């Protein structure tokens, strides 16, 4: 089944994004990988930072060759069918069902200053999915409700106007590694957090990676073993090493059990440096040659527009717009 995955440009790409998501993404005919930049403005943003993040995320997708094999890599903001479909679906969605979205209830319900876009973004997400006839959508538990909303909207449209949409299923991937901050190993490493020493960036240079990994907080005791409760810092480093090397946490723990924290950290730092070096070099090269990256993105957005337009036309036609065909 071709994969459809979107990533929000809400900051610089982290090692957590790479281990937990990006390194598992593979191109195939029909796959869709997009920079969800329309989703990035549902909360406050700074134009310069947004631009920087969009280009970096896009460059990583291209560096991973996700536009090969007939896969699509593009900026969501460059493909107008996304916003157009979102508007059409907004007129089919109900305030009642939208107000039940737990993410909105948790973060926005009693805050009059939250944007209308923040309330409506699950509908934009539905558009992203329905435009490409995605059958399975890989999401974390927190986004499952939004895929269910997408299903409800698809079924509603299909019941009223005939079989326009493929009704998608949420696919919850087997729980993979969750990489934590190197400074606060009880908090997730994430690109929108301001935690410079706790966050390894995918584009950090080798020395910067070494400095951050060697500066990671460790736990009391001196043995290396996996126990997230008792040893959150060491366990996080084991998770990182295993996530990148393909060797298990247990194998790593076995090898470094009595070697001392310093030796263990140096080994983890080297794995990070080595296992990210190809993607880092390719991403940096693309960022240094914007014309090459732009060409990839323009080609992606043209193909995404061609692929998604018939869906918008079909819906517009069905709901009464005479010139939609």
Contact between 10 and ligand ATP per CB under 6 A: yes
Contact between 16 and ligand ATP per CB under 6 A: yes
| Options 4, 7, 58, 75; binder of ligand ATP; rule CB under 6 A | 7
| Options 4, 12, 20, 61; binder of ligand ATP; rule CB under 6 A | 20
Contact between 241 and ligand ATP per CB under 6 A: no
Residue 191 φ/ψ, nearest 5 degrees: -70, -20
Which window, 9-17, 126-134, 219-227, 262-270, contacts ligand ATP (CB under 6 A)?
9-17
Contact between 76 and ligand ATP per CB under 6 A: no
Which window, 19-27, 90-98, 277-285, 294-302, contacts ligand ATP (CB under 6 A)?
19-27
Is 16 or 300 the residue whose CB approaches ligand ATP more closely?
A: 16
Is 104 or 165 the residue whose CB approaches ligand ATP more closely?
A: 104
- 3-state secondary structure (DSSP) of residue 136: strand
Using alpha carbons only, how large is the chain's radius of gyration in Å?
21
Q: DSSP letters along 4-53, please?
A: EEEE--SSSPBHHHHHHTGGG----TT-EEEE-TTGGGSS---HHHHHHH
Contact between 140 and ligand ATP per CB under 6 A: yes
Under DSSP, the state recorded for 201 is B
Torsion, Cα of 117, 118, 120, 126 (10° steps): 110
Contact between 317 and ligand ATP per CB under 6 A: no
Distance CA 69, CA 29 (A): 6
Contact between 21 and ligand ATP per CB under 6 A: yes
Is 188 or 255 the residue whose CB approaches ligand ATP more closely?
A: 188
H/E run at residue 57: helix 47-63
Is 10 or 218 the residue whose CB approaches ligand ATP more closely?
A: 10
The 8 Å CB, 24+ separation contacts for 142-151 are: 142/103, 143/170, 144/170, 144/172, 145/101, 145/102, 145/103, 146/101, 146/103, 146/122, 149/93, 149/97, 149/98, 149/101, 149/122, 149/123, 150/122, 150/125, 150/126
Distance CA 145, CA 150 (A): 9
Distance CA 309, CA 312 (A): 5
Minimum Å gap between C-beta 17 and ligand ATP is 4
For the chain, how many helices (H) and strands (E)? Answer: 13, 5
Is 26 or 178 the residue whose CB approaches ligand ATP more closely?
A: 178
Nearest partner of 148 among 110, 93, 106, judged by Cα: 93
Minimum Å gap between C-beta 133 and ligand ATP is 21
Minimum Å gap between C-beta 252 and ligand ATP is 17
Is 7 or 238 the residue whose CB approaches ligand ATP more closely?
A: 7
**In the complex, which residue's CB is closest to ligand ATP?**
20
Is 11 or 300 the residue whose CB approaches ligand ATP more closely?
A: 11
Distance CA 217, CA 323 (A): 63
- 3-state secondary structure (DSSP) of residue 252: helix
Residues 168-227 contacting ligand ATP, CB under 6 A: 177-179, 188-192
Is 67 or 191 the residue whose CB approaches ligand ATP more closely?
A: 191
Residues 28-57 contacting ligand ATP, CB under 6 A: none
Distance CA 208, CA 197 (A): 9
Total residues contacting ligand ATP by CB under 6 A comes to: 18
Is 213 or 315 the residue whose CB approaches ligand ATP more closely?
A: 213
The residues binding ligand ATP (CB under 6 A) are 7-8, 10, 14, 16-17, 19-21, 140, 177-179, 188-192
């Amino acid at each position: 089944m071709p994969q459809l995955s979107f990533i929000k440009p809400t900051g610089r790409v982290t090692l957590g994004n790479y281990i937990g998501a990006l390194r598992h993404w593979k191109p195939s005919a029909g796959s869709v990988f997009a920079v969800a930049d329309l989703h990035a403005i549902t909360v406050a943003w700074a134009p310069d930072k947004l631009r920087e993040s969009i280009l970096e995320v896009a460059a990583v997708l291209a560096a991973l060759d996700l536009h090969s094999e007939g896969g699509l890599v593009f900026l969501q903001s460059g493909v107008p069918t996304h916003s157009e479909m979102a508007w059409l679906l907004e007129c089919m969605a109900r305030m009642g069902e939208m107000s039940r979205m737990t993410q909105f209830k948790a973060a926005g319900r009693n805050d009059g200053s939250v944007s209308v876009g923040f309330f409506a973004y699950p509908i934009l997400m539905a558009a992203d999915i329905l435009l490409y006839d995605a059958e399975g959508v890989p999401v974390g538990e927190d986004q499952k409700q939004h895929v269910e909303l997408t299903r409800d909207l698809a079924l509603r449209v299909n019941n009223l106007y005939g079989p326009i949409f493929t009704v998608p299923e949420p696919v919850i991937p087997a729980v993979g590694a969750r990489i934590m901050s190197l400074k606060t190993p009880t908090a997730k490493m994430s690109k929108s957090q301001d935690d410079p020493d706790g966050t390894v960036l995918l584009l950090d240079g080798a020395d910067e990676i070494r400095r951050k990994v060697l500066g990671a907080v460790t736990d009391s005791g001196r043995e290396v073993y996996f126990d997230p409760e008792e040893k959150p810092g060491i366990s996080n480093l084991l998770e990182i090493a295993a996530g990148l090397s393909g060797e298990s946490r247990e194998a790593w723990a076995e090898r470094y059990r009595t070697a001392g924290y310093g030796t263990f950290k140096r080994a983890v730092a080297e794995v990070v440096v080595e296992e990210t070096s190809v993607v880092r070099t390719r991403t940096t090269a693309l960022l240094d040659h914007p014309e090459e990256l732009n060409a990839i993105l323009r080609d992606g957005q043209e193909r995404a527009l061609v692929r998604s337009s018939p869906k918008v036309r079909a819906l517009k036609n069905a709901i009464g717009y005479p010139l939609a065909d």
